[in-house]
Structure 1
Amino acid sequence: MNLQETILKTIGLGKSFKGFSAVSDVNLDVTRGTIHALIGPNGAGKTTCFNLLTKFLEPTSGQILFNGFDITNEPPSQIARRGVIRSFQISAVFPHLTVLENVRVALQRGLGTEFHFWKPGSSLDVLNERALELLHEVGLEKFADEETMSLAYGRKRALEIATTLAMEPELMLLDEPTQGMGHEDVERVTELIDRVSRGRTILMVEHNMKVVSSIADRITVLQRGSVLAEGSYHEVSNNPLVVEAYMGSHGGGAL
């Protein structure tokens, strides 16, 4: 398989709400096996873009291609089955289940028993080995039997990444994975994303420029719903238009 092939492509992607253009003419090319970051000032259209890619919103214009197939008109469930799996901004785990049980629930999708409510819980034991492998991958194996609500925030995000991995994504969409974290958790989750990205493709929305600069292979900068710049961190951070966009919106904040 050619590692440089495009896994996700958007052509002229746009979304308007009652005449207001939230996203306009966005052309994205995400290369297989890379970490691609979507950045931009607040209100730049990053989350709207994510919602379009997973069909939580219907595009007003343009096309979305995944592995060369036009998925523009497919429902969210079909896009998820194709392997485009999104992890949400707000930690989406079951607080009263154990850490291991959360991963097993995500793995059930592979067994096709999600709706077999009458089956005994022991029928999920076959998933324990894989669940523990995933917990090991995100550094949570020693927390397997803990109730999820007792986990620290950064570890909840790590668990969420494990449950996303359980869905066997071909493309992982991470929406603000380090939002609301302290310095130590940010470093831990950044290292985790870098580790799980090996052999996978990740598209992430991220505010923290230290995170982006350390792990993103390619960066697309949005401003007012349009692509302002694209390239490596070095290229975009030295682009006068990008610097101006960030300086203006962050009151002199650094990129």
Structure 2
Amino acid sequence: MSEQYVLETRNLVKEFKGFVAVDDVNLQIRQGDIHALIGPNGAGKTTVFNLLTKFLPPSRGQILYKGEDITALKSAAIARKGIVRSFQISAVFPHMTALENIRVALQTFENTSYSFWKSGNSLHKLNQRCMELLDEVGLAGFANTTTVELAYGRKRALELATTLAMEPEILLLDEPTQGMGSEDVDRVVELVRKAAKGRTVLMVEHNLSVVSKLCDRITVLAQGAVLTEGDYATVSADPAVREVYMGSDGSGERGVAAEDNQTVEAAQ
């Protein structure tokens, strides 16, 4: 029964003028898991994220959250239910400080948007929570640093903090380690592990070393359809995965980890 899954899709399809980008996808995301969605470029991973968060409407199929059909809901309503996502490209305000970025997210979540007749000091009550979130991602010492001055890995950590400000029950992370060096990757792995406590995480990730360290369950997409699913040991040993995702020579993890992670979904 769907009650055992916090998020589920049933026969999910997305077509673009005759091109099938997502083909009859059935996902079952268990409460508390870190679940990875992997596959070669153009497999439909980010398109699935866009369908789950209603940045795109599905052509057919259903999306269920805690057993409730949410297929017809708009993206804002999806976020209010606690399904919150990040993006491949860092989505922070470059000329605001780290603290101000978090405060904007909190204003949105708590419906305390700035009004021209209010003093800016009225927003200071949010600062304590801002500092807690910055501390959670290791940025407490950068609260007053303008975001454009932060190193790339710290910008991604700030983006994670703004996402956590929305108090998600399900956190959707799209390529959280994209374009990072090994030191930043290790830092983000620990941040994701910490952020996953008490919530469910669904992530698109190319780096199989990250997937092997973090994920309880993995779904492999190929040409928009589910190829296989299981834990890392099961998926990495599957001959079909080696052929489609890693290459028929089985060189797999080294080749994927060495990618530059500049992913462009063919369906978008």
Asked if Structure 1 and Structure 2 have the same fold, meaning a TM-score greater than 0.5 normalized by the shorter chain, the answer is: yes
1:58 partner SS: coil
Q: Please show how residues 18-37 of structure 1 align to structure 2 within 5 Å.
A: 18-37=17-36
CA deviation map 1:116-149 (0-9, x unaligned): 3432211111111111111111010011111111
Q: Partner letter of residue 186 of structure 1?
A: V
Matches within 5 A, 1:16-165: 16-114=15-113, 116-165=115-164
Question: 1:208-255 CA deviation, whole Å, 9 max, x = no partner?
Answer: 000000000110000000000101000100011111112349x86413
What is the rounded CA distance, in whole Å, between the counterparts of 1:224 and 1:132 in structure 2? 43
Q: Which whole-Å CA distance do the structure 1 matches of 2:110 and 2:173 have between them?
A: 25
Counterpart in the other structure of 2:4: 5
Taking only the aligned residue pairs, the percentage that are identical comes to: 64
Against the structure 1 CA distance between its residues 13 and 115, is the aligned structure 2 distance closer, same or farther, given a 3 Å change threshold? farther
**Structure 1 residues 100 and 74, CA gap change in structure 2 (3 angstroms):** same
**Letter of the aligned partner of 2:245 in structure 1?**
Y
Structure 1 counterpart of 2:227: 228
Is residue 220–residue 227 contact of structure 1 (8 Å, CA) maintained in 2?
yes
- Residue correspondences, number: 251
User: 2:242, 2:250 within 8 Å by CA — same for their partners in 1?
Assistant: no
Cα-to-partner distance string for 1:11-37 (whole Å, 9 max, x where unaligned): 000101111111011000111111100
- 2:14 aligned counterpart, secondary structure: strand
Paired residues of 1:246 and 1:253 also in contact (CA < 8 A): no
Give secondary structure in 2 for the equivalent of 1:130. Answer: helix
Equivalent residues in 2 for 1:234-245 (5 A)? 234-245=233-244
Kindly tell me: are residues 111 and 49 of structure 1, through their superposed partners in 2, closer, same or farther at Cα, counting changes over 3 Å? closer
What are the residue-to-residue correspondences of 1:210-221 with 2, within 5 Å?
Answer: 210-221=209-220
Structure-1 separation of matches of 2:174 and 2:236: 21
Give the aligned CA root-mean-square deviation in angstroms.
1.4
Give 1:9's aligned amino acid: E
Query: Secondary structure in 2 aligned to 1:227?
Result: strand
**CA-CA distance at 1:111 after TM superposition:** 3.0
Q: Supply the distance in 1 between the matched residues of 2:73 and 2:90 (Cα, whole angstroms).
A: 26
Does 2:201 align with 1:191? no
Cα contact 2:139–2:154 (8 A) shared by 1: yes
Code of the residue aligned with 1:205 in structure 2: it is V
Instruction: Report the alpha carbon displacement of residue 67 of structure 1 after superposing the two structures with TM.
Output: 1.4
Which string of whole-angstrom CA distances, capped at 9 and with x for unpartnered residues, describes residues 141-182 of structure 1? 011111111000000000000000001111111000000111
For 2:262, the equivalent position in structure 1 comes to none
Displacement of 1:195 in angstroms is 1.1
Deviation at 1:5, TM superposition (A): 3.1
Asked whether the 8 Å contact 1:98–1:145 carries over to 2, the reply is yes
| CA–CA separation in structure 1 for the residues paired with 2:88 and 2:216 | 22
* Whole-Å separation in 2 of the counterparts to 1:226 and 1:176: 19
The residue that corresponds to 1:254 in the other structure is 252
- Cα distance, 1:117–1:203 mapped onto 2, change above 3 Å: farther
Letter in structure 2 aligned against 1:234: A
Change (3 A) 1:117 1:241: farther
Q: Is the 8 A contact 1:246 1:252 kept in 2?
A: no
Equivalent-residue separation in structure 1 for 2:116 and 2:198 (angstroms): 35
Deviation at 1:196, TM superposition (A): 1.0
Structure 1 unaligned regions, length at least 5? none
Q: What are the superposed Cα offsets for residues 174-210 of structure 1, whole Å, 9 maximum, x if unpaired? A: 0000001111111110111011111111100000000
Give 1:57 deviation, angstroms. 0.8
